[in-house]
């Protein structure tokens, strides 16, 4: 089959992007003709596929750039004949959507005032989501979360037969390390974390939705005896500046370390004492499964689609939302 895989932006450290690459490689290895369309590609380029980077102006907000990409994508797709157009972001005209994102209309839009619905950003995001999930759409959906599926159906009335549920999975390169004690000692030494200190891990690109501000506030509220020997290591590709400034205002900057995007997540999980994932919105949260598999306790909010696995495995604590940090 000739397949078009469409993604706004690829970078090596995002959960969606990792799923995208895994599916891309599987389709290629099954001898399908794979064409990738993206607005930006960071990192090593895959072999055996046709990669089309549809560059456009970076001016404007994300919704403006996404609309420009979609306009270019429509023109590019019109020159080819595909058996299936598969989207990893919501956009019109898809045969199949990989549903790794939360429902915008049900989760994000209600956080703003009534006038927000008149903004260009709202109109764009709502129109692109509606194009996938409305009753009139023919797009089939690969859904990762039963809970999020029910939210989409609540707001759009999406027929049941258009959803195809996928089980929770882990990449082979995210399996727990074998020499845990040795790797734990090495990584903590590299991070300059004493063996007697408590190491909190925050792992995820998208600091705002995954609740990094909550993690920093929690760190600042620890009792004095505990706070002095607790460190927070932040792993993920995002803008660290606003959170560094928040850490400084809270008086915890010297106990917070930003590592950027990393590929050695299993090593870092072996070094940690607790994974903190206080997300505001999270369709799944694959890092929760990775921590559970690694034997690392987890503290997460109940908005995470995979939070129930924490409860089933008795692997940590799930915080009910909304909650008062004070």
| pLDDT(322) > 80 | no
pLDDT tens digits for range 156-213: 999 999 999 999 888 888 899 999 999 999 999 999 999 999 999 999 999 999 999 9
Question: Across residues 99-117, what is the average pLDDT?
Answer: 89
3-state class (DSSP) for residue 275: strand
Query: What domains does the chain contain, in order, with CATH numbers?
Result: 2-165 (3.40.50.2000), 172-319 (3.40.50.2000)
Question: Across residues 70-78, what is the average pLDDT?
Answer: 96
Beta strands (DSSP E) in the chain are 2-7, 33-38, 50-53, 84-87, 96-99, 140-143, 163-165, 198-203, 230-235, 256-260, 274-277, 298-301, 316-319
pTM for the whole thing? Answer: 0.87
């Amino acid at each position: 089959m000739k397949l078009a895989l469409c993604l706004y932006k690829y970078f090596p450290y995002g959960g969606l992007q990792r799923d995208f690459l895994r599916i891309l490689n599987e389709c290629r290895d099954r001898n399908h003709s794979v064409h990738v369309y993206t607005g930006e590609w960071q990192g090593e380029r895959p072999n055996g596929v046709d990669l089309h980077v549809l560059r456009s102006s970076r001016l404007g907000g994300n919704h403006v750039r996404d609309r420009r990409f979609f306009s270019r994508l429509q023109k590019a797709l019109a020159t080819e004949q595909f058996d299936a157009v598969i989207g990893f972001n919501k956009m019109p005209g898809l045969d199949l959507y990989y549903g790794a994102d939360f429902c915008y209309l049900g989760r994000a839009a209600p956080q703003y005032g009534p006038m927000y619905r008149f903004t260009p950003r709202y109109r764009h995001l709502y129109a692109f989501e509606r194009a996938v999930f409305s009753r009139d759409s023919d797009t089939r959906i690969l859904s990762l979360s039963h809970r999020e599926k029910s939210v989409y159906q609540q707001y759009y009335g999406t027929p049941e037969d258009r959803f195809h549920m996928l089980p929770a999975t882990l990449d082979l390169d995210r399996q727990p390390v074998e020499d845990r004690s040795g790797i734990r000692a090495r990584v903590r030494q590299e991070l300059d974390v004493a063996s007697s200190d408590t190491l909190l891990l925050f792992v995820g690109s998208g600091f705002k939705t995954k609740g990094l501000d909550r993690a920093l506030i929690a760190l600042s509220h620890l009792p004095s005896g505990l706070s002095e020997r607790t460190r927070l290591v932040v792993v993920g590709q995002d803008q660290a500046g606003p959170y560094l400034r928040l850490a400084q205002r809270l008086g915890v900057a010297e106990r917070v370390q930003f590592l950027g995007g990393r590929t050695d997540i299993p090593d870092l999980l072996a070094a940690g004492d607790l994974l903190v994932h206080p997300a505001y919105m999270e369709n799944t949260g694959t890092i929760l499964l990775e921590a559970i598999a690694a034997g690392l306790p987890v503290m997460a909010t109940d908005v995470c689609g995979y939070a129930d696995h924490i409860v089933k495995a008795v692997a940590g604590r799930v915080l009910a939302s909304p909650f008062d940090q004070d």
